[in-house]
Amino acid sequence: MLFRMRRNHTREAYLELVDNIRAKIPNIALSSDFIAGFCDETDEEFADTLSLLEIVKYDLAYLFAYSLRERTHAHRRMEDNVPEDVKQERLRAMIDVFKKNQLLKQMDEVGKYHLMLIDGVSKRSDTQFTGLTDTNKRVVIDNSLKVHESWKDYTSSAGSSLDLTSPSVGDFVKVKIEDASQNTLFGTPICKSSISDFEVSTKDCL
């Protein structure tokens, strides 16, 4: 099917690339787009798509049922011949597999540290800050908790409550993930941090 979609790679080459990337950047988050019901898609080809979702376990995926777009190769040369009910059934199957693995990956973050950029107050509670990690995961923290100015201050003070400061919108904060849901991580803020300091401090936590 990749050939029919005019993709210049094979499944095997793609999986090898994924393995190489994860070997070099272990905590990387991967995302991709998937289409269910492309022209002439067989049950076997769709099973290959599901198995790819199962193998790679993406952190984020954009999943769609195929629809014909004008001025494309498929529009000019191919027939949109997979029935709509089959497309929708396959789309639901893709969503189910993705969400199952997404939740497992979210839960795997519990106990780990992340660098969070605070981007605002949570829409669900004015007692919480929300923000994103560098892997584009949504994190929520209690905005009443104070933090140390740096990881060095945190470790040198043995976690004492002296000289703490309140984080604010726009700050980078090192957080420890305590819980997770399908789309959100829940963390405890530890200290303010720059990107480079986070990389150094993360090695201290290993």
Residue 67 has what pLDDT? 86
Note the pTM of the prediction, 2 decimals: 0.84
Residue 52 has what pLDDT? 97
Which tokens sit at 88?
């929708």
Residue 160 has what pLDDT? 60
Residue 68 has what pLDDT? 78
CATH of domain 113-205: 2.40.50.140
**The domain over range 11-108 is classified in CATH as 3.30.750.200:** yes
Name residues of the chain where pLDDT drops below 70. 1-7, 73-77, 157-162, 203-206
Question: What does 166-203 look like in DSSP terms, one character per residue?
Answer: ---TT-EEEEEEEEE-SSEEEEEEEEE--HHHHHHHHH
Distance CA 1, CA 78 (A): 13
Q: C-alpha 120: how far from its chain's center?
A: 20
Residue with tokens 């040369």: 77
Residue 201 has what pLDDT? 80
Q: How many residues does the chain have?
A: 206
AA identity, residue 62: Y
Q: What are the extents of the domains in the chain? A: 11-108, 113-205
Residue 75 has what pLDDT? 60
The residues pairing with 147 across neighbouring beta strands, listed in sequence order, are: 165
